[in-house]
Amino acid sequence: MTRAIFLDVDGTILQDGRHIPPTAVDAIRAARARGHLVFLSTGRGTAELDGALMGIGFDGAVTNGGAFASIGDRIVSATVFSPEDVTRLQDYLAVAGLHGYFQSYDQLFATPELPTLLAERFAAAGLPAKTFHDPADFDAARVAKLVFLTDDTDAAARALDELGEDFEVVGGTIPVAFAASGEVAPRGVHKGSAIRALLAALEIDPDVAIGIGDNWNDAEMFAAVGTAVAMGNAVDGVKALADQVTTAIDDDGLHNAFVRNGLI
């Protein structure tokens, strides 16, 4: 029986934004060799998925927090903001004093001061640099997600509350070298909605799908699959939503989850 496996990236495959446990690589490749389908399920956009990660080999991906779902190179589900929503979010960042970057399917566009700030902080933290695209190429009609960043945790909490009235908003899950962050998507867009679209396209019963993650943006993924697995390093509230809890990312967590569920 072919099973579909959905894997979060940060905190599940990728540790501290820089290290991939070799046992995770081996588990993913072994599961695919047995005929299972393995998909990324991440808040990152395609432009933020680097060579080492993609070199593992996957059958497709849920990206941008669920805005896009793909099988191979074929996009089967896509949802973006309206241009009016993008303008509203740009204005919100300016008024609230937040930095941020907008994701399209395969591009990143930052607020003016952010590239320099991130370059300095990522270098100090030993994280790989994030590359942003030319503002001249920005197209509001293609924007699928906003990541906002700040050192003011109160401002971040207000943004999560105020933007949550009209958008899907979760606390940030991508390493950003700021004290607080958040991820904003169109209403109804999350990993769960994209996974359901992808499973329908594959004609795979959600009951035989597995989702593995560690943070709050994985909650809807857990609800969309038959078996939800939280990493041992997941926050307690996310563990409470899961059917199983595996060991931590640096304790062969992904590999152990694959073994427990008979995937390898």
Choose one of 128, 159, 185: the last residue of a domain: 185
HEC-encoded secondary structure of the chain: CCCEEEECCECCCEECCCECCHHHHHHHHHHHHCCCEEEEECCCCHHHCCHHHHCCCCCEEEEHHHCEEEECCEEEEECCCCHHHHHHHHHHHHHHCCEEEEECCCCEEECCCHHHHHHHHHHHHCCCCCCCCCHHHCCHHHCCEEEEEECCHHHHHHHHHHHCCCCEEEECCCCCCCCEEEEEECCCCCHHHHHHHHHHHHCCCHHHCEEEECCHHHHHHHHHCCEEEECCCCCHHHHHHCCEECCCHHHCHHHHHHHHCCCC
Query: For all residues of the chain together, what is the average pLDDT?
Result: 94
pLDDT of res. 51: 86
**Residue 143 predicted with pLDDT over 90:** yes
- Residue of 39 and 177 predicted with greater confidence: 39
Percent pLDDT > 90 in the chain is: 86
Q: What is the mean pLDDT of residues 135-159?
A: 94
CATH classification at residue 126: 3.30.1240.10
**Residue 53 predicted with pLDDT over 90:** yes
Q: Are residues 58 and 8 in the same domain?
A: yes
Q: Are residues 89 and 72 in the same domain?
A: no
Choose one of 150, 185, 220: the last residue of a domain: 185
Q: Are residues 71 and 196 in the same domain?
A: yes
Distance (Å, rounded) from C-alpha 181 to C-alpha 171?
6
Domain count, the chain: 2
Q: Are residues 56 and 9 in the same domain?
A: yes
Q: Are residues 43 and 68 in the same domain?
A: yes
Q: Are residues 104 and 160 in the same domain?
A: yes
Q: What is the pLDDT of residues 185-200, one digit of tens each?
A: 999 999 999 999 999 9
List the structure tokens of 130: 């994030």
CATH classification at residue 210: 3.40.50.1000
Residue 72: domain span: 4-78+189-260
**pLDDT interval class at 170 (50, 70, 90):** confident
**pLDDT interval class at 213 (50, 70, 90):** very high
Distance (Å, rounded) from C-alpha 98 to C-alpha 96?
6
Helices 153-163 & 83-96, crossing angle to 10 degrees? Answer: 150
Q: Are residues 12 and 101 in the same domain?
A: no
Q: Are residues 164 and 225 in the same domain?
A: no
Q: Are residues 106 and 141 in the same domain?
A: yes
Percent pLDDT > 70 in the chain is: 100
pLDDT of res. 18: 83
Q: Are residues 158 and 198 in the same domain?
A: no
**Residue 176 predicted with pLDDT over 90:** no
Distance (Å, rounded) from C-alpha 261 to C-alpha 85?
42
Q: Are residues 99 and 179 in the same domain?
A: yes
pLDDT of res. 122: 85
Q: Are residues 57 and 137 in the same domain?
A: no
